[in-house]
Amino acid sequence: MTDSNILLRVENLCKEFPIDDGFIARRRGTVRSVHAVNDVSFDIAAGETFGLVGESGCGKSTTGRCIMRLTEPTSGKVLFEGRDVAKMNRAELKAMRREMQFIFQDPYASLNPRMTIGEIVSEPLVIHGTVPDKAERERIVRELLDTVGLNPEHINRYPHEFSGGQCQRVGIARAFALRPKLIICDEPVSALDVSIQAQVLNLLDDLQKEYGTAYLFIAHDLSVVQHISDRVAVMYLGNMMEYSDWKTLYAEPCHPYTQSLLSAVPIPDPDIQASRNRIILRGDPPSPINPPSGCPFHTRCPIAKARCSQEKPQLREVLPGHFCACHYAEPTPIKESSIELDAVTE
């Protein structure tokens, strides 16, 4: 990837949410905070799909929201086409958001129930004033509805008249209305049934091929992320643990967390399922209010050593383009979908 090709660059992004412990804590200056995102860096090239996976509470959604400045990052840089999003004023931010759109998780909650889907899809065009002519706007909206697989005749219907999958198509049409360069998809299919999920994934794929839009695809489902992404990053407790192209990450995961995460995904094939060597992690993820010292994963890691609780591992390039934040990680090929734990523990 050349530098000129880079659409979005995130550098050392941190986000802390202070907790209101009350008056005494404020007076004493002992206000605690939730470390939602901790020193996250990555970049996305034009037209690429970058997948962000992790369990609930790992900071993947907060990362997405910080990039659009829906929440203010605590520190770090978000460079969109070389310009720092954090330093933009209102007007610049508005102009930037024309290029960067969002698809939300809940298809019902993200559509205004009092607006017709025509109004919903045309709203970005109105706000940004790109198409002043009303008749022309309607023509574009009809075209968009047709593109996402909805009947353009339904332009005057309300969201409650549609199913979850159809509502998500409306959300996608709205995101594409301005032909943005980057769309942040925050769990766009996790509220949908499998047969509908596949429809929406294929639609996102087709639209990307047509318009060359880059996606930041945030999801907890590893199979979905693998299916759609070019490169995948794994997050845990606000930290980026590993990232690589989709093939390497799934075939040769380095980080013990990625390995256990992959082995925990049930594969819909009884034979593979029975022959797999599965790593079942003990316990729950620690609280992001009081994250463990050293490596955030050391409390559940099957290969943790003394050094892990003292020294925080930095992302290092284990193979070209394959980064991993673990002191001891080595690329471990998965043979026939089974993860060899022994190879790691040696």
Stretch that binds other proteins, among 100-108, 133-141, 199-207, 209-217 (CB under 8 A): 199-207
Name the strands in the sheet holding 83-84, side by side, starting at the edge strand that comes first in the sequence. 33-45, 6-18, 75-80, 83-84
Looking only at the bridges linking them, the beta strands covering 322-324 and 316-319 are antiparallel
Residue 101 vs 260, nearer CB to other proteins: 260
Under the criterion CB under 8 A, does residue 265 sit at the interface with other proteins? yes
What sections of 86-133 are H helices per DSSP? 90-99, 117-127
User: Which residues in the 119-178 window bind other proteins by CB under 8 A?
Assistant: 163, 165-166
Task: Provide the minimum distance between the beta carbon of 93 and other proteins in the complex, in angstroms, as a whole number.
Answer: 34
Of residues 277 through 306, those in contact with other proteins by CB under 8 A are: 278, 280-282, 284
Burial of 11 (0-12, 13-18, 19+ CB in 10 A): middle
Q: Which one of 129, 132, 270, 320 is in contact with other proteins (CB under 8 A)?
A: 270
Q: What is the spatial distance between Cα 34 and Cα 47, in angstroms, rounded to a whole number?
A: 33
The answer to the question of residue 341 lying near other proteins (CB under 8 A) is no
* Phi (first) and psi of residue 304, to 5 degrees: -65, 140
- Out of 84, 193, 311, 340, the residue judged to bind other proteins by CB under 8 A: 193
**First-to-final CA distance of the chain:** 35
For position 68 contacting other proteins by CB under 8 A, the verdict is no
| Distance, CA of 346 to CA of 302 (rounded, Å) | 11
Of residues 82 and 333, the one with the C-beta less far from other proteins: 333
Q: Which of 20, 72, 133, 271 binds other proteins (CB under 8 A)?
A: 271
Whole-Å CA distances, 2 to 48, 67, 229, 244: 13, 21, 19, 17
| Residue ranges in contact with other proteins by CB under 8 A | 55-56, 163, 165-166, 193-199, 201-202, 220, 222-224, 226-227, 247, 250-251, 260-271, 273, 278, 280-282, 284, 334, 337
